């Protein structure tokens, strides 16, 4: 059984929390005590309907202000599949939050209020979905009840999205438009009679058909990479000479007998066994946490990478990357950070900044020496030791890194290798 990860993004009043509440409600994922608690809380707030958004707004400040502050994770399932929704706030530190919520998802649902149409927020959300190369984008035109379920209004919004947002730099992306009303449940699980002009499917059936991105990353043709998390040496009588390399396969597939190369030592051996607890496997693919043993004793330690011979990434100390900045203290040229690529941490210095995009106004500037919160910059970095990255567009699970501020230890940026 698989798990589909979804991110939802929208502006303050697009009804995102209501949509999620509706999905939970329609899939019978809310228990009676929670519905009762919701009804009571809605009454206390003086509402004459059950406010489904109270389900996800979990922090005291959020409930007081009626807004979402931090990414919340919500779980529901349909007969065949499980879903994890990362609900990201639309207005508050949107780049930081949306990137956090959407980094691992196969689908982004972008909400638009049918009365307001495409907003600046919509553009930002779409831009981030493209930057992350999210394979599926569902543009949910919500609150159709407030525009009399008008086909013309829906078409207008669709055209406006296509023309103002433009083409993404990511050709394989699927974009689907759905008109809906979360409040009344129109086009959520089944096609609504109130919009007989709409020839597409309801939201949930669309989600049910989306292919999980994990399946693609684990395909045999994708170059295989495993970052070593721990070296396992039990030193017991039974496993006296055992030496295994524990890690989660980042991409592709490893088979017993594969010729592999350890990086950075560049020593070559072959896979002797693939161990998953008490099982021995003949092959394992992306996403699986395994222990590999090799035929020869070669130099491998924590943070190193094992790749298949002939498809190994080249080592580099110079990286060009798009960096999303997430900290109130700006990134500055000349400063040194920790760069964490998978489980490999290296010191990295910002050599230069080619350009910076202000996602607030979509203005690009080239003569900058810093990147501010919520901006995205094209940056040249120099690392202290070699790192073995792929371009994000080729192998996403080996093409991203985080930057950590050595002063605060905070995660301050996310980089996509170009």
> Least distance (Å) from another protein to the CB of residue 121?
19
- State the minimum distance, in angstroms, from the CB of residue 147 to another protein: 25
Give me the phi and psi of 310, to 5 degrees please: 95, -15
Least distance from another protein to the Cβ atom of residue 315, Å: 20
Query: Is 373 one of the binding residues for another protein (CB under 8 A)?
Result: no
User: Taking the complex as a whole, how short is the minimal distance between the CB of residue 60 and another protein, in angstroms?
Assistant: 5
When asked if residue 394 is in the footprint of another protein (CB under 8 A), the reply is no
CB nearer to another protein: give 72 or 348.
Answer: 72
Q: Toward another protein, which CB reaches closer, 239 or 369?
A: 239
In whole angstroms, how close is the CB of 310 to another protein at the nearest point? 26
One of 292, 376, 402, 417 touching another protein (CB under 8 A): 402
Q: Which of 104, 116, 119, 173 binds another protein (CB under 8 A)?
A: 104
Site for another protein contains 84 (CB under 8 A): yes
| Among 6, 19, 52, 99, contact with another protein (rule: CB under 8 A) | 99
**Looking at 144, 178, 195, 326, which residue binds another protein (CB under 8 A)?**
326
User: Minimum CB separation from another protein for residue 379, in Å?
Assistant: 16
Residue 287 found at the interface with another protein (CB under 8 A) = yes
Residues 232-271 that bind another protein (CB under 8 A): 232-234, 236, 238-239, 242, 244, 246-248
Find the binding residues for another protein in span 188-227 (CB under 8 A).
Answer: 189-190, 201-202, 204-205, 208-209, 211, 214
Does 359 contact another protein by CB under 8 A? no
Q: Which among 12-20, 22-30, 115-123, 262-270 is the span making contact with another protein, rule CB under 8 A? A: 22-30
CA separation for the pair 72, 28 (Å, rounded) = 19
């Amino acid at each position: 059984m698989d798990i589909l990860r979804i991110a939802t993004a929208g502006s303050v009043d697009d009804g995102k929390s209501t949509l999620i509440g509706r999905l939970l409600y329609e899939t019978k994922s809310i228990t009676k005590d929670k519905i009762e608690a919701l009804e009571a809380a809605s009454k206390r707030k003086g509402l004459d309907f059950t406010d489904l958004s109270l389900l996800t707004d979990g922090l005291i400040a959020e409930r007081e202000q009626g807004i979402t502050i931090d990414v919340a994770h919500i779980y529901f399932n349909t007969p065949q599949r499980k879903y994890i929704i990362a609900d990201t706030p639309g207005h508050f530190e949107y780049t930081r939050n949306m990137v956090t919520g959407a980094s691992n998802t196969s689908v982004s649902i972008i909400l638009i209020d049918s009365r307001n149409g495409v907003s600046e927020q919509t553009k930002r959300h779409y831009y981030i979905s493209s930057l992350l190369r999210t394979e599926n984008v569902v543009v949910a035109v919500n609150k159709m009840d407030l525009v009399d379920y008008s086909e013309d209004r829906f078409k207008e919004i669709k055209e406006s999205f296509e023309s103002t947002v433009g083409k993404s730099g990511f050709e394989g992306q699927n974009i689907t438009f759905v008109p809906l009303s979360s409040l009344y449940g129109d086009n959520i699980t089944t096609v609504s009679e109130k919009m007989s002009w709409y020839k597409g499917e309801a939201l949930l059936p669309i989600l049910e058909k989306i292919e999980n991105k994990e399946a693609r990353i684990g395909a045999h043709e994708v170059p295989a990479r495993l970052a070593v998390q721990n070296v396992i040496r039990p030193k017991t009588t039974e496993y006296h000479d055992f030496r295994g390399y524990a890690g989660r396969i980042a991409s592709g597939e490893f088979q017993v007998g594969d010729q592999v190369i350890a990086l950075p030592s560049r020593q070559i051996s072959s896979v002797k066994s693939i161990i998953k607890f008490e099982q021995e496997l003949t092959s394992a693919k992306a996403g699986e946490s395994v222990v590999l043993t090799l035929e020869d004793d070669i130099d491998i330690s924590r943070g190193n990478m094992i790749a298949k011979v002939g498809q190994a990434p080249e080592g580099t100390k110079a990286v060009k990357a798009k960096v999303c900045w997430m900290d109130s203290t700006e990134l500055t040229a000349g400063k040194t950070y920790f760069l964490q690529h998978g489980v490999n941490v290296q010191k990295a210095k910002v050599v230069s900044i080619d350009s910076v995009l202000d996602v607030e106004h979509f203005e690009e500037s080239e003569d900058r020496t810093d990147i501010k919160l919520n901006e995205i910059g094209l940056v040249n970095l120099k690392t202290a030791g070699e790192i073995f990255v792929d371009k994000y567009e080729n192998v996403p699970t080996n093409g991203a890194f985080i930057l950590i501020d050595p002063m605060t230890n905070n995660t301050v940026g996310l980089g996509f290798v170009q």
